[in-house]
């Protein structure tokens, strides 16, 4: 019996349940109990024989994780700290804006990429999350705040670099989009990457894939090297090559995310270079004013007027641009603020 049934696909469940004499269709039934119905007590799996339910209840663990702390911001954003079976923890966020619910998920305990403006990067990388630990965040957020509309969105923009944990994230994506699982449409899920070019190209070849967002945040290699060390391995031109390949193979547009840091990457020259980059790739840009973390990160956001001016310059050049204003910052739940630092778990 595996350590945890939650997170297994149908084949994994069939293998785990075979010692009890169950057939593959029983694994399909358990699959629906776990993911579509979020029923974790085997005693409640009423379409399985009683003896099997009792045996599985005794032998198996069904664990999507547990919420150990919950923080709610004034705008309705909820951040939860989720405890994992090995004692580690990750953060996940539920946001509501104009009636639309979005879950922001973590893919790793910490992150190896050490982006200078991201608090998670201060943790370093502890380990990847399993598909069950990722999908479990969705289950816990759903149960924490039941939704009237089941069609919520998911973004992999929490702790960790999703494409560094490629297999874990794609495994969770399949659970989330399976009609007999969580039942989400694949277009409702977005993966954000710091720029792992080969993984972007690999993602393009998947038969089913999430939307892609690429965290750019600089317009020269020298600048991006300082802000995002991954650029030393995959500089901007290599990243653009991978992005164009993704668009060509998948037939899908993608998004550049650009975190605006006052006096660092928001000058007129930066805007001019950003415009040139956007003309070279089938992408839109999402401008994100930096969410400050006083005493922990040394950056500040531009003024609101400057953010609007940058957006307007891009629009005037007939380039698609939008602004993602902060949600949940006072709960340290906004973009770039998620981390489990020493003494906080």
Whole-number Å distance between alpha carbons of 111 and 164? 9
**Residue reference for tokens 């993608």:** 254
Question: What does the alpha-carbon distance between residue 295 and residue 26 come to, in Å, rounded to a whole number?
Answer: 54
**Residues acting as catalytic residues:** 91, 335
For helices 268-279 and 304-316, the axis angle rounded to 10 degrees is 40
Taking the CA atoms of 159, 169, 150 and 139 in sequence, report the sign of the dihedral they define.
negative
Q: How many residues does the chain have?
A: 345
Per the CB < 8 A criterion, the answer to whether 332 and 79 are in contact is: yes
Supply the DSSP string of 120-152, one letter for each residue: GGGT-EEEEPPHHHHHHHHHHHHHHS--SSS--
In the DSSP assignment, the letter for residue 268 is H
**Phi, psi (5° rounding) for residue 68?**
-105, -15
Residue 76, classed as helix, strand or coil, is coil
What is the secondary structure of 8-71 as a DSSP string? --HHHHHHHHGGGT--HHHHHHHHIIIIIS----GGG-TTS-HHHHHHHHHH------EEEEEE
In this structure, what is the dihedral angle of CA atoms 206, 166, 66, 1, given to the nearest 10 degrees?
Answer: 80
Nearest one of 344, 328, 342 to 157, comparing CA atoms: 328
Contact, 94 vs 312, CB < 8 A?
no
> Can you say how many angstroms the Cα of residue 213 is from the centroid of all Cα atoms in its chain?
10
Cα R_g (the chain), whole angstroms? 21
């Amino acid at each position: 019996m595996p350590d945890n049934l939650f997170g297994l696909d149908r084949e994994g469940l069939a293998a785990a349940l075979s010692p009890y004499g169950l057939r593959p269709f029983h694994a399909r039934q358990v699959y629906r109990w776990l993911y579509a119905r979020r029923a974790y007590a085997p005693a409640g799996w009423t379409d399985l024989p009683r003896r099997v339910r009792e045996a599985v209840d005794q032998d198996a663990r069904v664990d999507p994780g547990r919420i150990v702390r919950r923080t709610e911001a004034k705008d309705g954003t909820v951040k939860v700290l989720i405890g994992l079976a090995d004692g580690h923890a990750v953060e996940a966020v539920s946001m509501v804006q104009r009636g639309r619910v979005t879950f922001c998920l973590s893919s790793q305990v910490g992150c190896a990429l050490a982006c200078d403006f991201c608090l998670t990067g201060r943790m370093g990388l502890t380990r990847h999350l399993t598909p069950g630990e990722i999908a479990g965040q969705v289950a816990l957020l759903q149960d924490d705040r039941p939704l009237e509309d089941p069609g919520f969105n998911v973004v992999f923009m929490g702790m960790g670099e999703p494409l560094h944990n490629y297999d874990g994230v794609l495994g969770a994506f399949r659970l989330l989009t399976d009609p007999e699982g969580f039942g989400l449409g694949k277009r409702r899920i977005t993966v954000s990457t710091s720029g792992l070019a080969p993984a972007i190209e690999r993602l393009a070849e998947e038969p089913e894939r999430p939307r892609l967002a690429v965290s750019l945040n600089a317009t020269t290699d020298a600048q991006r090297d300082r802000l995002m060390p991954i650029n030393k391995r995959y500089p901007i031109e290599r990243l653009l090559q991978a992005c164009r390949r993704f668009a060509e193979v998948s037939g899908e547009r993608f998004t550049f995310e650009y975190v605006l840091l006052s006096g660092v990457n928001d000058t007129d020259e930066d805007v001019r270079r950003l415009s040139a980059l956007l003309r070279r790739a089938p992408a839109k840009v999402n401008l994100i004013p930096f969410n400050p973390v006083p005493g922990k990160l040394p950056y500040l956001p531009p003024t609101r007027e400057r953010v609007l001016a940058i957006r307007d310059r891009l629009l005037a050049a007939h380039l698609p641009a939008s602004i993602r204003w902060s949600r949940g910052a006072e709960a340290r739940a906004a973009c770039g603020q998620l981390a489990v630092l020493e003494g906080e778990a």
